[in-house]
Structure 1
Amino acid sequence: MTKLYFIANNQIHIYENNKTVTMPCQAIDQYKKNLDEIRQRKEWKMKGTGAQFMGLNRYDEDEGYGLAYATDAVVLDSENIIYSARLDDGMAINIKPIQNLQDTEGLVLRKNDFIAQDMAFDHFKKRLVLSVQEQQGYGTHLCILPLDSNRSQFITEGECIDANPIFDPHHVDQIYYDSCGLGGGENGVFLGPREIFHLDLSTGELETKFADPKYDFLKPQIDQQGSLYFIQRPYLRAGQTESSFGFFKDIIQAPFKIIRAIVGWLDFFTQRYSGESLKTSSKTAGQNPAIDKQKSEEELFVEGNLIKAQKNLEANSKKGEKYPGTIPNSWQLMKRSRDGQVTLVKKGVMSFAVKDDSILYSNGKYLIELKSDLSEEKLVEAKLISKIIV
């Protein structure tokens, strides 16, 4: 198989000739190096008896680098890929030479006011479509970024999360993406069901392709025959408790509800974009590390959804699956052919990519190739592959 890329554990990996290597990202490495230098310069203020006397000894040697990780990648040509990286509240998009991973990268965009989450590349017009989260706004929206310009143009708006955009390979001014509405309450942020949309850039016309209040539809892709692939999974909304003790209790509790809503909002985006919860920090006093480790292995946040990984793995194994995974069978890869017929392709799919006459997919435990004759080949064992790039 030719070279392919996938993202797992917030890192980009390269698979080729039955071998997997982790791709170094100079934007992330340089950012971490800069933070280290800043901390070293400030270290004298945070340590020693003088700092302790002044109450300034709050430097934590185990403190991480913040949020610095790869978010997506696309193939530019046979010698380069483009990747995006989150750098705390900012981001970078770089061109990475792949023949020699140590070669200097080229900068496409560096901004401090928004974060790119997903992207796709239009090979014909040499432009990117990005889903970005702005500092001053809520949710994520789509924008177009030409490679020869550092100016982006937004094409969607509203209180929603727009994600996973793709260009139609047969019509470059046609974009497909998934989106859901945002709602807030005293218990945090709530998402509506994800729907798949089609946007015509030439006319501005927006059309809903798949929507059902019982399901999420996400990660659209189109093959060379014009068939649309996507993941369908049950829509699960967390329950929202309403007060039943009257008007005066609502007034008394109003400040606490506002605080809880703000914390819930921050916790939601932390879980979605870093896979960790603000409410379950490993540094919390009194926690048992062994119990925390066991829970992290059994219960995992996958794109904002809490899944019972170990339970799903055992259930899939009992069903006799050749390569049992940790994703529930209710997460289904679907195909809508050009004549409108919708068929089930595979159950238990977390992410996928259409390549020629085969499909590459992750079931949360393995990266697998599903061939045209429906036979399967395990390529590599890798947990929770969020994106597959071909």
Structure 2
Amino acid sequence: MHAEERHQAILRRLRERGSLRVTEFAEELGVSSVTVRRDVEALAERGLLDRVHGGAVQQHGSREPGAAAGAGAGVGVGAHRAPDGSPRAVPADGARLTFGLIVPAADYYYPDVIKGARAAAAARGIRLVLAISQYSPAEEQTQAAQLLDDGVDGLLITPCGPAADQGWPAGLGVPYLLVERRPGPGLADAESVVTDHAAGALAAVRHLAGLGRRRIGLLLREDSPHTPLVEEGYLAGLAAAGLDPDAAPRLRLAPPGTGPAGRAAPIERFTDAVAAGTLDGALVHNDHDAIVLLQRLRARGLSAPDDLAIVAYDDEVAALADIPLTAVAPPKLAVGASAVGLLADRLADPGRPGHRLAILPELRVRESSVGPSASRPPG
């Protein structure tokens, strides 16, 4: 069982029962107590649970035991609408607002989104309830149904599949907002808060071109929902710098779990191009693949930034690479906080104009593009 699967199992147990003992849960999962204890520590650091002696309890403000009842119910409206049938703007009993937050996972990328949302909710006196879809559209809708049954007043959703284009959130019966997803055609009126990934990629290319790199390639995750926007910004950056988009390889990596061939071959093509002198700069989405590329370069006797200047995209672990990687850092804390703020404003004023907020990421310059002793140009 992978770490993320264990994390999801721990959070699911806390939602169902409110607490767990490390030794008993480790036996259920068939892993060591040390492993579960480390998982609990990691989740506690993210603010997703509270540690207690010998176990863990649900973090203050998370779902109470028994909240999973009604998992098979459809996503309906019922008591979530005001008497005139419109989405209810405030709790009928005057209690504090409760928002549900549905994200695909609680690790890589989303912990800071969750932290930002949690801080903004606490500042406004809003209770935030977290649900995890595990990258399953069906589970996503099940979690939405459960949150509605629990009486949430609004939903923050990061759709993990084609649901964003199918329009299912439009029938929730409570105000909702998309987080890190642009609304598809089926959600023409949906509000959203996103990172401007195209602007981040453009900034990365501009940085590399400003260093004199003329053959800038692109290595992308095939399965990432951000891939089209990163590629859009990359091409815009090349055009702005007057660079030929066909001068360097533009490749996609197969999703993890599809076998080594679909992932190793593109990275080998990149290292071959560096060795041949046809690639001198690269934008790599994401950090993990940028680190693998760095390792392959070293195995071939090549280095960054001398042979290849590298910019990673995400900045989750880029700074921990053997040669710290320059990286585009999405404003994850700000995305989570802004999402809560916009949804709260919608509830306070249902008639206000719709908002779609795109927040600019930051380029963090490190040794992989300019070297340890070089001056760092503005990003």
TM-score (norm 1): 0.27
Structure with higher RCO (Cα < 8 A, 6+ apart)? 2
Q: TM-score, normalised by structure 2?
A: 0.28
| Greater percentage in strand | 1
As a proportion of its length, which structure holds more helix? 2
